[in-house]
């Protein structure tokens, strides 16, 4: 059951990405991550995907997960601040604290 009813923020439900490269902030060029780091990011991405998909408060919400060098970044739109908080809680259960950047926008 989702508590977010009518919103003007309709978009595809869930998208998940693992970013396999970094950008050098001084030169702007791409730097390939190590294979081990990329595999770890992909694993963490899969865990985060599962956690978000299992969270009943986020069903049908537009939440994207991006993992880069262990940092999990949540983007997209949700219907309430409670749902935004629940996204963080769901990810913390998998990856721990201090490794999550929640930039979800609340759209009512």
Cβ-based neighbour number of residue 85 at 10 Å: 14
pLDDT, one tens digit per residue, over 16-58 is 444 444 445 555 555 555 888 889 889 889 999 899 999 998 8
Q: Give the per-residue pLDDT at 31.
A: 54
Q: Give the per-residue pLDDT at 98.
A: 64
Q: Is 53 part of any domain?
A: yes
pLDDT, one tens digit per residue, over 51-97 is 999 999 888 888 999 999 889 999 999 999 999 999 999 999 888 76
Q: Give the per-residue pLDDT at 70.
A: 86
For residue 34, the domain's CATH number is: 3.30.1340.30
Range of the domain at 96: 14-106
Q: Is 60 part of any domain?
A: yes
Q: Is 5 part of any domain?
A: no
Q: Count the domains in the chain.
A: 1
Q: Is 7 part of any domain?
A: no
pTM value surpassing 0.85: no
Q: What is the DSSP string of the chain?
A: --S--S-S----SEEEEE--EEE-TTT--EEEPPHHHHHHHHHHHHHHHHHHHH-GGGTT-EEEEEEETTEEEEEEEESSHHHHHHHHHHHHHHH-SSSEEE-PEE--
Task: Report the alpha-carbon distance of residue 54 to residue 72 in Å, rounded.
Answer: 17
Q: Is 4 part of any domain?
A: no
């Amino acid at each position: 059951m989702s508590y977010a009813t009518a919103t003007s923020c309709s978009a595809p439900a869930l998208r998940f990405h693992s970013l396999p490269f970094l950008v050098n902030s001084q030169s702007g060029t791409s730097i390939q991550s190590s294979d081990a780091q990329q595999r770890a990011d992909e694993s963490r991405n899969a865990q985060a995907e599962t956690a978000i998909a299992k969270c009943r408060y986020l069903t049908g919400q537009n939440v994207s997960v991006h993992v880069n060098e262990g940092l999990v970044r949540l983007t997209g739109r949700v219907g309430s601040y409670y749902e935004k908080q629940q996204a963080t809680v769901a990810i913390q259960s998998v990856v721990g604290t201090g490794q999550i950047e929640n930039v979800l926008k609340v759209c009512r």
